[in-house]
Structure 1
Amino acid sequence: MDRQKWFDWLLEEAKVPFEGWDFSYVGKTGRLKEAPLSWNYTGLVMRKLPEIGSLLDMGTGGGEFLSMLKPLPAQTYATEAYKPNVAVAKGRLEPLGITVVEADGEDALPFADEFFDLIINRHESFDAAEVFRIAKTGASFLTQQVGGENDLLLNRLLGAPIPEEYLHWNADYAVKQLKEAGFAIEDCREEMVPTRFYDVGAVVYYLRAVPWQIPDFSLENYADGLWEMHCRMEKDGYIDIPSHRFLVAAVRQ
């Protein structure tokens, strides 16, 4: 297949629907690979499970991550704001006895004061004061966040605007918010690691799943940039895009 036909085929194939927060369509096939971080978020969460009686997973997506954790406490809740994901999460988590609540991370959360022993948050926004309110004394808040410099090379390569409203979002900023809310910080780490894309179809699939990265993304708007990226990937075999991640572990004293 020549380069143009392969390009056209990849763009057409990338129209596969995205559901929940599951990138396995391009991840399990090896078309997209994230470099490992120096920490393991799953392991950090699992280490706390034997000691808790109540758990909240903020921004559960389709419940993919939470459903893999075992054993979970009897009082386990999850929040999700994106309406298409709420139904997916309920279908996956409610049979496991987990209550799913439609709520955004920055909203007032529908839980009593000092209710949770552990609050986890993977790539979801949060209001530090609200998290503090629903955490018991001695409770932990463990969050892995996508930093404001995440995937900016995609924007630059495609000629898309940089989402400047998120550039401030980093570990120092999050720690400051949490300290002001009353938390003590146990751990804080921050890294830039590459995400490797092996074909332009995987890039298109990814950008459609994260519309905040390039809000006006479409094949028509970025045809030239996608073609240039395709040619580069055909030559080099892949393209590495820096991903910005940080981890904060906090405790309500």
Structure 2
Amino acid sequence: MTGKPSFAELVAEGAAVPTEGWDFSWFEGRASEARPSWGYARSAGERLARAEAALDVQTGGGEVLAFALDSAAPARPALIAATEGWAPNAAKATALLRPRGAVVVTAPDDAPLPFADEAFDLVLSRHPVTPHWAEIARVLRPGGTYFAQHVGPASVFELVEYFLGPQPASARGARDPERERAAAEAAGLEIVGLRAERLRMEFHDIAAVVHFLRKVVWMVPGFTVEAYEPQLRSLHERIEREGPFVAHSARHLVDARKPHPA
């Protein structure tokens, strides 16, 4: 009978998995995350079915937009565009979205959106690095909507603090939904709805931890197996002894509207 994979085998497996795109199917059976009750991709599809011109900001590998477009079919906007800042993701998104009638534009996440004023009646985004409210407001038509799922404050910080130690209050409070409400309103948008949830995550082996930290690079900046080998080995032994490592993700749903001029 074959025994359990060793620490070295699990770490090597987690380090070998490609990280392009936002397809998390590899984690099946190795890690889990509860999903928000609002069903973002399905709801985005309902919005797309009613839109004329839509933009997906920071689309990743295009997986979420592709699902939303498929759920909206046959009703789709006449114009569908997406932006992505990381070249490997942009290439993957282009291959996935072009057959669905969407154009993918490679654009840095922190740069102005490469589109004309009031070009879209719907702007979508799932887990943007930073929402650029002034740019979102600029490219929205009056009456248009920004509909997005954002990462919330102290998301997966149980794992972050395991590797980096206690984080300052400024880090724990970043991405606060009420601060984002204020920033959106300062850019001229009206918040129609704002919902937040914290959701249970479980990591069942150290391979899942390694792959997650390689894929979501801002969690532990500069993460490498070599740099964190002692912490990884200790966590592996803890999981083997006690069961899955539990953390909690934070998500909030933003529904904002650009008002018509007075």
What is the TM-score of this pair, normalised by structure 1? 0.92
TM-superposed deviation, 1:204: 0.3
* 2:94 corresponds to 1:90: yes
Q: How far is the alpha carbon of 1:168 from its aligned partner? A: 2.1
Number of aligned pairs?
250
Give structure 1 stretches of 5+ with no counterpart. Answer: none
Q: Deviations along 1:116-136, whole A, 9 cap, x unmatched?
A: 111001001221011001101
Query: How much has 1:98 moved relative to structure 2?
Result: 0.8
Q: Could you tell me how far apart the structure 2 residues matched to 1:95 and 1:166 are?
A: 41
The 1:67–1:43 alpha-carbon spacing in structure 2 relative to 1, beyond 3 Å, is: closer
Q: Which residue of 1 aligns with 2:42?
A: 43
User: More displaced, 41-50 or 178-187?
Assistant: 41-50
Equivalent in 238, 254, 261 of residue 232 of structure 1: 238
Offset, 1:203: 0.5
Aligned equivalents of 1:88 and 1:199: distance in 2? 28
Within 5 Å, give how 1:156-171 maps onto structure 2. Answer: 156-159=161-164, 162=167, 167-171=173-177
Amino acid at match of 1:92: L
Letter of the aligned partner of 2:178 in structure 1? D
Matches of 1:7 and 1:53 in 2, distance apart? Answer: 52
Contact 1:58–1:120 (CA<8 Å) still a contact in 2? yes
Give me the CA root mean square deviation: 1.9
Do 1:184 and 1:250's aligned partners in 2 also have CA atoms closer than 8 Å? yes
| In 2, Cα distance between equivalents of 1:123 and 1:231 | 32
- Which letter maps to 2:17? V
Identity of aligned residues (%): 37
CA distance in 1, matches of 2:13, 2:166: 26
* Contact 1:93–1:99 (8 Å) recurs in 2: yes
Distance 2:195 2:180 in 1: 11
Displacement of 1:2 in angstroms is 6.6
- Which of 112, 125, 132 in structure 1 is aligned with 2:116? 112
TM-score (ref. length: structure 2) = 0.89
1:43 CA drift (Å): 2.6
Q: Which of residues 128, 134, 149 is equivalent to 1:129?
A: 134
Does residue 197 of the first structure (1) align with residue 203 of the second (2)?
yes
Deviation string 1:45-75 (CA, Å, 9 cap, x unpaired) is 1222232111101111111111122323120
In structure 1, distance between residues paired with 2:55 and 2:172: 25
- Say which SS state the counterpart of residue 38 (structure 2) adopts: coil
Moved over 3 A (4+): 159-167
Q: Which of 241, 246, 252 in structure 1 is aligned with 2:252? A: 246
